[in-house]
C-alpha cells in the first residue's frame, strides 16, 4: 500500500522532466495516474512499465482539447483527486528585443492559459465532493523577475502565481487545497532552450526532476486540514534572496 493508493491523479506535461518524474512517483505510490502532453511518444516513454497509466495526448493551450482530456480521464477514473499543472515552455529568443508577438502568446498560452483551462475543468467535481488538490508547478521566476528567464516566461509564471492565490482564497471553504511549487534551476530538457548552453558542471549542481517531484508528492500527501500554499525549492548553489 502506497501513500496514494486509490487516489486519482492527472499530470500535464507528463512526457518529460518534472511531469514524467511526478507521474512515475505517484504511480509507484499506488495512485491511478493519467498523463497529458503534446508528444505521444514521450508520454508512452513515461508510461513504459506502468500499464495502468492512462496516456492522453493533449495540447493544453487548446481549450477544446483540454475539455476532451477531462472527458477521457473522468470516463476512466470517475473523478480526479489531484491535478498537477506542470505543462510549461520557454524559448531561446526571450529578451524583449527578440520577443515576437507570436512567441509572447506561445509562452502565455502554455505557462498560464493551459493551467487555467485545466483548473476550470477539474473545479466543478472538486467543489461537488468538497475535496481536491491542485498543484501548480511554477518557477522562482514567478516570484521574482529573473532576466535569465525572459519577460514572456516570467509574465506567464507571475500570472500563474496570481491565479493560484485567488483560487485558494475563493475555494478555501470548499475543502480544495491549492499548492504552488517554485523551483529554481532544474536539470530537465527545457535547458536546451537556454540562450547560453548549460555546462555539465552546472547541470550537476542544480535540481533534478525527482527533487521537484518529491516536493509535489509531499504537499499532496498531507492530511485535509493541512495546506501548503507555496513551496520554494532551489539548488543549494543558487542565489535566491
Nearest to 69 by CA among 135, 19, 22, 11: 11
Place of cell 468538497: 130
Residue 9 class from Cβ within 10 Å (0-12 exposed, 13-18 middle, 19+ buried)? buried
- Give the distance, in angstroms, between the CA of residue 69 and the centroid of all CA atoms in the same chain: 16
Dihedral angle, C-alpha 102, 105, 107, 108, nearest 10 °:
170
Place of cell 486519482: 8
**Rounded to 5°, angle at Cα 208 from 88 and 182:** 50
Contacts of 116 (CB under 8 A, 6+ apart): 163
Return d(Cα 89, Cα 111) in angstroms, integer. 7
Tell me the CA distances in angstroms from 218 to 40, 96, 194, 231, 240, one per residue in order: 28, 37, 29, 10, 22
Residue pair 81/64 in contact (Cβ under 8 Å)? The answer is no
Catalytic residue among 117, 146, 153, 182: 153
Q: Active site includes 153?
A: yes
- Could you list the active site residues? 153
Amino acid at each position: 500500500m502506497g501513500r496514494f493508493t486509490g487516489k486519482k491523479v492527472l499530470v500535464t506535461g507528463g512526457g518529460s522532466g518534472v511531469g514524467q518524474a511526478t507521474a512515475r512517483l505517484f504511480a509507484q505510490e499506488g495512485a491511478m495516474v493519467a498523463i497529458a502532453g503534446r508528444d505521444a511518444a514521450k508520454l508512452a516513454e513515461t508510461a513504459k512499465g506502468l500499464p495502468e497509466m492512462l496516456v492522453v495526448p493533449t495540447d493544453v493551450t487548446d481549450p477544446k482539447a483540454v475539455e476532451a482530456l477531462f472527458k477521457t480521464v473522468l470516463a476512466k477514473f470517475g473523478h480526479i483527486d489531484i491535478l498537477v499543472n506542470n505543462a510549461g515552455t520557454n524559448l531561446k529568443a526571450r529578451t524583449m528585443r527578440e520577443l515576437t508577438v507570436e512567441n509572447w502568446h506561445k509562452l502565455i498560452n502554455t505557462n498560464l492559459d493551459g493551467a487555467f483551462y485545466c483548473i476550470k475543468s477539474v473545479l466543478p467535481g472538486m467543489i461537488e465532493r468538497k475535496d481536491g488538490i491542485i498543484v501548480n508547478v511554477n518557477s522562482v521566476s514567478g516570484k521574482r523577475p529573473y532576466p535569465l528567464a525572459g519577460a514572456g516566461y516570467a509574465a506567464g509564471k507571475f500570472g500563474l502565481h496570481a491565479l493560484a492565490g485567488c483560487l485558494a482564497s475563493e475555494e478555501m471553504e470548499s475543502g480544495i487545497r491549492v499548492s504552488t511549487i517554485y523551483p529554481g534551476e532544474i536539470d530537465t530538457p527545457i535547458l536546451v532552450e537556454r540562450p547560453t548552453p548549460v555546462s555539465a558542471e552546472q547541470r550537476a549542481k542544480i535540481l533534478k526532476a525527482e527533487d521537484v517531484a518529491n516536493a509535489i508528492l509531499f504537499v499532496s500527501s498531507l492530511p485535509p486540514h493541512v495546506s501548503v500554499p507555496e513551496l520554494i525549492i532551489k539548488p543549494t548553489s543558487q542565489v535566491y534572496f
